Structure 1
Amino acid sequence: MDITDRTVFIAGATSGIGRELARRFAAAGSAVIVGGRRTDLLDELAAEGFATVPIDVTDQGSVDRARDTILRDHPGLDTVVTMSGTGVPEDLRDPAHFSAAQETIDTNLLGTIRVIDAFTPHLIGRGAGTIITVSSGIGFLPFPLMPTYAASKAAVHAYSEALRAQLDGTGVEVSELVPPAVATTPEQAKLNPRALDLGEFATEVMDLLRADPTPREILVKGVLMHRWAERDGTYDELVAQRSQALASLPGRR
């Protein structure tokens, strides 16, 4: 895709990967609208020159208001990125985990669907555009410490595949960004030395997005071991390795 002259809305771009990709799209020449819940961070990004809009992807009214604001001020919108996400460790032996599971599904899966539904009629009406969903390497190679996060991202992958098939012939393309672990803060880099550097990750993502046609899946090199674990026969071994993190749960050894 041509990233030099797009009008891009990124839901969930006030921090982390979303914020970095917003800056990369803008640096390439695209107009970027940043959406998020935290007004203080939206104010910071507005000071950088970004258009901003409050949005809570778990609230249908908030999503609808954000859509109306964006399409009023940016009727040429042609790219939507569903970046909003959350996930925490869960102990599946403790039923108290359910509230965390519910929040994760509501944000990662239903939030993705809400945002897509809000903008799909506009993009179809234009006869052209791009939807970029965001799943995760964990959706293909589960991290047992975060089971609902993995399930939600596997669901986003399946939904993206179905969405692409249903939008075939409309001029609207669907691309799925599949991040591995990315160190979005120095603290995260210390906690997970294997996590990719945010800047290096973003550079690789933007290079992949520039391809024509836009790849169906945006796969940086660091996520290939996750994406193709079953094909490569490494799935069981890698899940067993990742299961060692369960020892960090209270009462586990």
Structure 2
Amino acid sequence: MKLTDNTIFITGGTSGIGRALAEAFHKLGNTVIIGGRRKQLLEQVTAANPGMGAIAFDVSDPASIDVAAAELMARYPGLNVLINNAGIMPFDDAGAKMDDSVSRSILDTNLLGPIRLSSALIEQLKRQPSATIIHNTSVLAYVPLAVTAVYSASKAALHSYAMSQRFMLRNTGVRVQEIAPPWVDTDLVKKSGDPRAMPLDAFIAETLTKLAGDDEEIIVDAIKPMRANPGQGEHALVNGFNEALIANPIPM
């Protein structure tokens, strides 16, 4: 995608990867609008970045998405980039009784939110000379983390959806790209300075460099081996990955 002269809406833009991407695109001179549930946090981010816009909405609520989409199209007729970044990552235990309300919340936020928001804005994006939808998935879309089973599954599903959406938009001016982050040191899990987590600034710098190209998937070099899923050998990879994390747990 082009990195300048865009009007960009990014969900989950008040913290972590979302805020960092929003601020990076803002510094490049793009018109950036962030979306999130907490109005106070939206105001803090926009105050720190004069000229950045904000819309308060709940990506897990279909009615809230419709209202936000209508406001976006009215206020920003040049909107040409949607970054579906908002996500939640509760820990769970697929080997025990699951909390259905938590599972539904994850799927409503991580999977149905991007599907619904893309649907609400797709005709607006098609009207632009050039437009991009970016889905923020995860390396866990390819190699699930067993202690976040529903989160991992939601990202695998979003990866699959992105491939179908890309195909269906192939004859339009709308491109579909996917960012699949590794473990980045943000508050999505717990910002801890763990050396296994990629520093946020390094992740953003490499991601922006790769976004400037035509790659359908934006994969930082550190996770290329995990993206190269070994097909029928994936079970040994997944088991080994999770056994290593059980031996040295992620901070919770």
- When normalised by structure 1's length, the TM-score is 0.90
Work out the CA distance in 2 between the residues paired with 1:73 and 1:221. 38
1:68 is aligned, of 63, 67, 70, to 70
Structure 1 residue aligned with 2:43: 43
- Conservation of the 8 A alpha-carbon contact between 1:145 and 1:243: no
Give CA-to-partner distance per residue, 1:148-197, whole Å, 9 cap, x none. 11110000000000000101111110001111100025x93537421100
Alpha-carbon distance change, 33 to 206 in structure 1, aligned in 2, over 3 angstroms: same
Structure 2 residue aligned with 1:222: 222
Work out the CA distance in 1 between the residues paired with 2:114 and 2:5. 24
**Which of 40-49 and 195-204 deviates more?**
40-49
Deviation at 1:60, TM superposition (A): 1.2
Structure 2 residue aligned with 1:104: 106
**Which of 88-97 and 73-82 deviates more?**
88-97
Deviation at 1:88, TM superposition (A): 1.4
1:119 is aligned, of 111, 118, 121, to 121
Aligned pairs (5 A) from 1:12-23: 12-23=12-23
Give CA-to-partner distance per residue, 1:26-84, whole Å, 9 cap, x none. 11111100000111110112212210001211111111111111111110001000001
Work out the CA distance in 1 between the residues paired with 2:159 and 2:234. 20
What are structure 1's unaligned runs of at least 5 residues? none
Work out the CA distance in 1 between the residues paired with 2:15 and 2:45. 10
Aligned pairs (5 A) from 1:1-253: 1-47=1-47, 48-49=49-50, 50-185=52-187, 188-190=190-192, 192-211=194-213, 214-230=214-230, 236-243=236-243, 245=245
Work out the CA distance in 2 between the residues paired with 1:5 and 1:232. 44
Deviation at 1:125, TM superposition (A): 2.5
Deviation at 1:96, TM superposition (A): 3.7
- Conservation of the 8 A alpha-carbon contact between 1:10 and 1:18: yes
- Conservation of the 8 A alpha-carbon contact between 1:141 and 1:239: no
Report how many residues are paired. Answer: 247
Q: Percent identity?
A: 35
Alpha-carbon distance change, 154 to 234 in structure 1, aligned in 2, over 3 angstroms: closer
RMSD: 2.3
Work out the CA distance in 2 between the residues paired with 1:36 and 1:219. 25
Deviation at 1:226, TM superposition (A): 2.0
The residue type paired with residue 129 of structure 1 is A
Give CA-to-partner distance per residue, 1:196-220, whole Å, 9 cap, x none. 0000000001101112xx3100111
SS across alignment from 1:33: strand
Alpha-carbon distance change, 246 to 169 in structure 1, aligned in 2, over 3 angstroms: same
Alpha-carbon distance change, 237 to 175 in structure 1, aligned in 2, over 3 angstroms: closer
Work out the CA distance in 2 between the residues paired with 1:146 and 1:247. 16
SS across alignment from 1:72: helix
SS across alignment from 1:208: helix
**Which of 232-241 and 165-174 deviates more?**
232-241
Work out the CA distance in 2 between the residues paired with 1:113 and 1:199. 28
Alpha-carbon distance change, 247 to 97 in structure 1, aligned in 2, over 3 angstroms: farther
SS across alignment from 2:127: helix
SS across alignment from 1:182: coil
